[in-house]
Structure 1
Amino acid sequence: MRTSLKNVMVDRNIAGRYYQESAIKAVCEAFQRNRRKALLVMATGSGKTRTVIALVDVLLRRGWVKNVLFLADRNSLVTQAKRSFVNLLPSLSVTNLCEEKDNTAARCVFSTYQTMMNCIDTVQDEEGKLFTVGHFDLVICDEAHRSIYNKYRDIFTYFDAPLVGLTATPKDEIDKNTYDIFELQSGVPTYGYDLDQAVKDKFLVDFLSVESKLKFLEEGIAYDDLPQEEREEYEATFADENGELPKRIESSALNAWLFNEDTIRKALHLLMEHGLKIEYGEKLGKTIIFAKNHNHAEKIREVFEKEYPHLPGYAKVIDNYMTYVQSAIDEFSNPKKLPQIAISVDMLDTGIDVPEVLNLVFFKKVMSKAKFWQMIGRGTPARTRPRAASRPSCTPTCWSRSTAAARWSSSPTALTPASTTGPTRSGRWPRSTPGETWRSCSTCAPCGQA
């Protein structure tokens, strides 16, 4: 029997923080007013998954839902969400459609968007089509934004169920059309909790950056600027069949198809020397290197193994070329296991929750501000155990400001969470003058956890 969603009691063993309870109550109030859609904008690391699990618990107890669909855009995020539901709401039967399609009795179904699109017409029970229009009483959309909605619009229009969207993208960075999808005023989600507030509340930590520019990544390679021995290597490498040479190799080519070992070596040395350490400064803390592509990631691993042969298994490539991606993520997430360095190609950029991460290295251009802040969020969760005293530091530029617009630099950048205090955050982009360079730690945009 359905009962009122006014004055709901939230299970604080699932979601015990004040803002999580506020988010749940905001969604319940919206549903009570017969609104069918809600959008939660919460910083990466602030516990969006816990919040939505506690919301499901409330709706189950109040008789508003029986069957729930949780959608994410990657298998690893589906697996992570399902584990959280199993741990925090063990009485709810669950299934992962990406792994099993015959558990038709499960009340909570986890799936990627692609898998659900395929299963709507193919999965059946003894009565016929399982996923009918009214099968689910609630649809949860992880990382809700316009591109997901536009690509998989048919899912959202097919199921006749209330929709809850989750995102860590700062509310001012969310596309206006995303708010339109959730029938909300632009910039006004159902509930929002950003990084600035989370840092003030000490649920998340701020980060610090140190800039270090590497010439080739900034300027490219100019033949006339090379010493004689390097000119000979340049000629041998880049001369075409007619013996003609390009006058320069643009910086955009580096790490796309051309790899410079010295550049990679310098970036790794900066990380190993200045990255946050654990075990009384003896061991580099868990680190994510964001690489440009698979070949770039493999080259970084190759150079690391040459430079640090005494650290076998210390660095590992984690991307969609792997057969057992989830096992690799689980090993990286385990503080007692190697690798310490995960070299990621899109796999760990967003959504994946590894609280042990202390250092982030940006070794590729990030063209999206929203994605950049989500990537920063891989290192902002507060840790309950003490960390070894080590000077937070990093490598190169996060972004530059020019007279035209913000430009995300191609220089590798390592970022570490601040151990106690961080830079002042104003809540807006800094003003710039021509040629002025801004470090990421001196600007403000909310980010967070998953």
Structure 2
Amino acid sequence: MTPEAKARQQIDKKLEQAGWLVQDWKKINLSANYGVAVREHPTDTGPADYVLFVDRKAVGIIEAKKNESILTTVEDQTLRYSLSKLKWRKEEEPLPFLFEATGEVIQFTDARDPAPRSREIFYFFKPETLEEWANQPETLRRRLKEQIPALPEENLRDCQIKAINGLEKSLATDQPRSLIHMATGSGKTFTAITAVYRLLKYGGAKRILFLVDTRNLGKQAFQEFHAYTPPDDKRFFPELHIVQRLSSSTIDSHAEVCISTIQRMYSILSGQPIDESAEDVPLAEVKTLEKKPKLVKYNPAVPIESFDFIIIDECHRSIYNLWKQVLDYFDAFLIGLTATPDKRTFGFFNENIVAEYSYEESVADGVNVGYDVFEIETEISKKGAELKAKEWVDHRDRLTRKKRWAQTEEDTAYTAKELDRSVVNPSQIRQVIKAMKLAIETKIFPNRKEVPKTLIFAKTDSHADDIIKTVREVYGEGNAFCKKVTYKATEDPDTILSDFRNDYYPRIAVTVDMIATGTDVKPLEVLLFMRDVRSKGYYEQMKGRGVRSLNKESLQNVSKSADSAKTRFVLIDAVGVEKSCKTETRPLERKPNIPLKDLLQGVALGHRDDDTVLSLANRLIRLNKQLEPKALTQIEKTVGQSLHNIAKTLVKATDPDEIVTLALENAKAQGITRSEEILTEEELQTARESLVNKACQVFDDPEVRDLVESARREREQLIDNINLDQVTFSGFSEQAEAEAQKVIQNFTDFIQQHKDEIAALSFFYQQPYQRRQLTFDMIEELHEALSKPPLMLTTERLWNAYARVQETKVKGTSLKRQLTDIIALVRFALGQDKELKPFSEQVDGRFKKWIFRHNAQRKTAFSPEQTEWLRLIKDHISASCSVARDDFDYSPFADKGGLQKAWGLFGNELDEVMNEMNQELVA
């Protein structure tokens, strides 16, 4: 049985379990079942693998591939069949539901979505579900994008408004996971219920799962749902929507909100009985009692489409260890609520923190040169990382891409070189793409409405696929937005390349090596390097993809918002490629002092270690660039292949990925099941020897060796590898320092120009004790004026600029900036402070002096309770510049008794104390 046939057997089984009857085209009988999947259905562009019929009406396409396939590469094929005309079908409209499937992985795209994007799903949808979706005038994702009205802000705190707006913005761009980070006591559940109400009313959500950590939290949530009244309706929530708190294995078919622990949901999916006492134990403790992950299988009674959204309360806890597959089962948006996120939380939710989502804008640098270099560096891309033993992580088969959730067996340290080969870190990829997106939008091309044509260089085909999925999610775009262009792509790479060059989509292309050299894409304006390149010649060719000039009209054909001819491109360096290439020494050169003649002779006699083979390859690459066309033609005619191909074959023969691939193929040919992790040294060595011997076979012929050597003598250069250079400086480039100086100069100029217009600046130019009070509104006015174009001077950018230029005088660079830090920046710029310290540190220091003086002058020192309140006032001033009576109505003062309590502690002194602190702590 062929791999394709085996995969189709598994696909058939999954279809049948989801309620479909699978038929061959020649035996089609659409009345035999409500949902029918017809194999090899004819179309006017060829037979489709499966066409899905519901109640005799065609609704979808399945493109089936063998298990080794990467499904993103066949999406256009599925789309083509959906647009084709089916034999005997009367309707002309395209089929909306597009599936790609292997025996292990299924991905789905709804073509009617505003930005149709594939997503991986656990199983196939039921026929009834597809019919229901087909009959809806708008898809869920289109409703989320187009039909959610503005949020009424009455009775909502600012943090709740920010969280709901951030969530709805995230959902409108089809982000699969969103994290709401709100402090304890800020009303997370109320926020979530408000969001649930809007998703049901305006988004048309069918059912939402509210997942809790313990049974008690479920009870609390149930009570809050019952107490909630929406702003546009005076009825309680349960009067408008059915809320079910799951206490059995049955989900009410009419329930629109289900509240459950994750333990009970696993019990429902698996059919296994639940120990209800286990629902009272927080999952952080459960993980120490159980060691095996909670694997789930498809349950027809609870199909994957049962919930449109899953809200995970207290999502910082250990839901991602034993219980992650319960979340993976449902085709639903995941929304996390937490007050205390950790690294696992950020990672699980794709670092999509919607409650804190913000953009820092900046103007373009304005340098009109051939190209600019923009550097992106992350900790892991620089230093690597380590996975500790017993950590729960996905293990993905490189070929099939099938995942299993399991613990690591031992500590696994990996270097930056091993990233995206033996270890894939999604966060590292995501951070680079997010940094690229932010840089393009705020610094590189801030006035563009669309993403400039961008090319990303990846390490391997698998790495490229990971990048594509991340780009689509980060940008909130569909399949057409980002495509892979490599030699291994199953869809025609030339067609994609033509579209990339001439059409609006794709905006971003990802390649390994196909567009690295010799390919002309004139509208290309951004190159992102996510792979290192040690060969200077190869690197220069790769950079050359972006240097082509283009007139304004031609550029606007593909990038409509471009306002001029193409005058530059930007190289974004995410791997240190610019630094690694500042040397003539080539990494392939392992034996620089051995003549080419001796290398050729050594290889012929069997000296085929990696150093020898790679050094020979490097010499041939160099020779290929030096020789005249006539000499190259003579070699190719004699040998039967070009010098370039010979060198490329030598390099591939020592490539670990190529060796592993051959070793796996050898094992498979012998009927042995192997994964990369359990290949033996003997199997790897056998594969390497086979590749190397085949690559070196050409040099067994002495005539070939003589021909290459004689050709070399015609064009020979001496390369000095004896006198080694050394690093003399490591830090910011001169250009970066100049940019920081420019930012600081713009800031000081602004202060001088506007000192009489902006109230906050006037504060610093008046004499002490004659100033009027500095307020938070004044600080906001100053911050807004600075952050608007053309200055775009945020506190973060200003702080970083001072840190670059006056590093020894700047403190707190690693801290998150507060809005009130603008006070410290102004004082430092005016020379009133000799060090740049966070405003909160300055307030702390002044408070200590103030309270010490008062305690020394008073007959009775402040009591412990008074001192506690004074510290609360001090903290409020740190964040808001001042304190007033009205502030006592809010947390944290209100939590401790509010204004009445303060009067009881300080009496008539209260106003005097507040006025003194407002003046002296901010002075």
Normalising by structure 1, report the TM-score. 0.40
More strand by share: 1
Higher relative contact order (CA 8 A, sep 6+): 1
- Whose helix proportion is higher, 1 or 2? 2
Q: For the pair shown, which has the larger CA radius of gyration, 1 or 2?
A: 2
